[in-house]
Each structure stands twice: as C-alpha cells, then as structure tokens.
Amino acid sequence: MNSLRNFGRGISLNNNYESWKINKYFLVQSLSTPGFNEEAINHAKDLFEVLDGYWNSLKKSQSCNENWFEMDFVQWINRFMTDNISIIITGERGCSMSSYYHTFNSDKSILESSLFDDPKVYNSDKFTQAIKAYLRGVSFFYFVHPFLRRYVPYFKNKANSVLESRDYMLKTIDNIIERRTFDFVNTPQKLKSKHDLLTNLITANHDAKSKMTEFLPDQEIRTVIFDMFLAGTDTSSNTLCYIIYYICRNPHVKQKMVEEIDLVFPNSSDTLCITTNHLTRLKYCEAIIKEASRLMPVLPVAKRVASAECEVAGYTWPAKTIFQLNYASIHMNEKYWTNPTVFDPDRFYLQNDLGELNDDLNNFDQENKKSIHEKDKHSLVIFGGGIRSCPGKKLAMINMLSFIALTFKKYDVELMDVDAPLKTHTDFIIHCLELKIKIKPRK
C-alpha cells in the first residue's frame, strides 16, 4: 500500500494524524467559503444543460420508440460527475462528457456543427478512466502482496497500470495548479469571483503564510485535490445510479417525488433558478437519497486503526488493532431498522411536519423526527462517522438533489428491464456496472 505513496499525505488514505489534521482543516474551511454552494448548484445546472444537449442530439440519431431515448445511465452519470467535480474543485471545465458524446458519431458534419466543447482540447475522459483504474487499484495494492506486485509479471503489469493512472492524474492536477498559481500571482483580480476549491485553498494558504500561522506544504495542495477527485466522483455517480434504480422500481415513490418537485418548481423553467433554499425543501427527494444509500451504501466498509490501547464493546484492544466497520451490515440490522430489506423512503420522511424537519443539508445523515424511533445515532452511516467522516457530504447532497430535480422535472425515466437485477462490482466501493434506462420529455 505504501508504494501508492499516499499514506502520510492528502486526506482519505492519510495515516499521519498531524498532516491529515491540517489538510482536513484547510479543506473544510475552503468548502465552507461563502458562494461555494450556490456556485456548485450553478455548475450542476449548467452541466445538466450540456448533458441534455448531448442526449437530444443523440436522440435524433436513435430510431426512438415513442419518443423514448435509451442509454446506459452509468456511462453518462460517471462523466457528468467527473466534469462536475472537476469544475467545482479546480474551476476548470472537464471534457469528459463531450469526449464520450463524440464516441457515438463519426459523422464529421455533426462534429463540426457541434455547439459543445472540443474533446481534443484535452482528453479528460482519459482522466475519468484514470480515476476508475486508480480506485480499483487501491484495493489491489491492499490485498496483493508486494512480492507478487514486484516480481510476478501478471501482477506487476496490473500494478504498473495503476501507478500510471495515478501519475497521469497527478500530472493533470499539477498543470492546473500551475496555471492557477500563475493567475494568483500575476492577475489576482481574475480570481476574485472564483469560488472553486483550488482557488480557495491557494488563497487560504497564502493568507496563512502571510500571518505566519499553520499552512499547507505546496505538495499537499495537489494531494488534497487528487483526493477530492477520488472521493467525490465515483461515490456520487454510483449513488445516483442506485437512486435512479430504486425510484424506477417503485412507481408510487416516483409519483410522490415528482409531485414534490412540481410543488417546489411549479413551472418548467423554475429549475433554471434553483438555489440552496429550493433544495432544502426537497425533503422527500432527500428521504429517497437516504433510503437508496441505506440499501446500497457506495462505501460498504471502512477501517480504523487504534492509535492507543482502547476499550470497545467491553473488551480491551491493544494499540494498532485494525477495526473493520461494516456500514452495509449496520444498515441492514433489524435491531435498528424495521423491514430492513424493503425500500421505504417514508421511514425518513414526516409528511405533515415539513417545517420542523432539519433544514440544513449539512446534517443530511443525522436523525429526523420520524426515523429517530427506528434507529440509534450511528445506524445510518452513509457518510461514515466521527472525525474521519465525509467532508464532502453537503456538496454531494447538493449535486444529487440538483440532478434529481433537474432530471425528473424534465423527463419521465424508466428502466429498460424493470426485473433485471442491479449489476455491481465491489472493490473499494460498490460500482454499478450497467443501468439501462429510457427517458422521454414529460408532457
């Protein structure tokens, strides 16, 4: 694992408490800068329009049955999230969706008349693939012995390709940081209206240095950005796949959800001015996200290492004991959940008491009044718990709620085969391998 060279650096795989603490502090500060959330919503909206443009364009070339457009949702949402996280985190627009779109047609006239960005500018679909390969590689490095990785050709080749993905990602990130630092030094006025994480980090770090307080060593900015891509893209995109799957399998849930979306956005153009205030009113949508994530937590297990002797469950454990936290099993425990295998967003939703529900997206995975009867404090751990819990949960919620509202305000969505089981693969996270859906504009 050490040969991934991430231990002691960044955040998510960092086992050095001191550097982790500083990195997480700067990250949390930068994520809570004023304007960050509204900008995140604006990016989600803009990118949805781009995605919608691609879907419409492809629909013309598909011999559509009754106006339905068919697709593998996994492929699109994965690219959407990479482009989304890319602009939120670095302030630079990725071209993952456009690269993917262009794989569908070799017709030059369509390519040339395309309103959308040019994949040749830089191939960020390669970046999306690198994130995937690296994420899978984390568990490969964890489980496969260093001897095999170094000396047995099959494992050695696999290890090399993981390391190549990591290096490609780091190189891309370094280039972005270099451009932003140049702007910060030479044209700081250009950055005044920017609220992306990288600009916030560079600014906060510069302020900390000038006040002689604790600051980030330069190479840590790249590892924090690197971690954000790893932790933010596949988690959000796979969770959205499971959400869409459960919504489509449960028409009564879909109906109730669409009614809520129509209540919050009465006119079809209203989603164009979506704000955090709108999102906090989508309580049933929030309940659906919780329930889908309870049944299918994208991160099913996590680990903790005891830094000193400790007592857990009435036993004393020596320092360095590794604890495996089985989040997926906690979500299925009958002690905390009635009918745990049933998809029932209502367990998180109190219909006639909207005003008293939690209005803060920060507290997304905390209790609400109804579900408190069902579970104890740590029985819903979609975003983990304790000091290592997810710092991106509010951003994740903003992205997922925006996407659901935008999609279901505009489209009827159905599974191509409602009886087909979910196809998944589990390594570090649970990947959705395929989700064939069809969409058509709502009447």
Please give the size of the binding site for ligand HEM, defined by CB under 6 A.
24
Site string for ligand HEM, 304-333 (x = CB under 6 A): ------------------------------
Convert 27-38 to b/e letters by CB count within 10 Å (16 or more is b). Answer: beebbebeebbe
Q: Which residues contact 247 (CB under 8 A, 6 or more apart)?
A: 253, 254, 257, 288, 292, 408, 413
Q: Which residue is associated with the tokens 């809520």?
A: 260
Only one of the segments 55-63, 68-76, 228-236, 247-255 lies at the binding site for ligand HEM (rule: CB under 6 A); that segment is 228-236
| Alpha helix (H) residue ranges in 327-422 | 327-330, 393-410
Is residue 382 a contact residue for ligand HEM (CB under 6 A)? Answer: yes
∠ at Cα 354 (352, 356), nearest 5°?
A: 110
If binding is defined by CB under 6 A, does position 292 make contact with ligand HEM? Answer: no
| Beta-sheet strands, E only, within 241-340 | 301-305, 310-312, 315-317, 322-326
Residue number with the shortest CB distance to ligand HEM?
392
Q: Which is nearer to ligand HEM, 94 or 391 (CB)?
A: 391
Contact 391, 24 (CB under 8 A): yes
Residue where the block lists tokens 């036993």? 315
* Sole window of 60-68, 199-207, 225-233, 415-423 interacting with ligand HEM (rule: CB under 6 A): 225-233
Beta strand 315-317 pairing with 310-312: antiparallel
| 298 is a contact residue toward ligand HEM (CB under 6 A) | yes
Cβ-contact 297, 328 below 8 angstroms? yes
Nearest distance, CB of residue 222 and ligand HEM, angstroms: 14
Q: Half-sphere exposure of 64 toward its Cβ, with a 13 Å CA cutoff? A: 18
> Binding residue per annotation — 64?
no
Per CB under 6 A, does 86 bind ligand HEM? Answer: no
Q: Is 231 in the site for ligand HEM (CB under 6 A)?
A: yes
Tokens linked to 118: 């040019």
The CA distance from 338 to 144, in Å, is 39
Residue whose CB is less far from ligand HEM, 159 or 279: 279
Per-position x/- string for 390-429, each x denoting binding to ligand HEM as judged by CB under 6 A, each - no binding: xxx--xx---------------------------------
Interaction pattern, residues 184-223, with ligand HEM; x per rule: CB under 6 A: ----------------------------------------
Question: Which among 43, 7, 11 has a CA at the least distance from the CA of 30?
Answer: 11
47 is a contact residue toward ligand HEM (CB under 6 A): no
Q: Name the site residues for ligand HEM (rule: CB under 6 A).
A: 11-12, 24, 85, 227-228, 231-232, 235-236, 239, 298-299, 302, 382-384, 388-392, 395-396
Annotated binding site for heme: 390
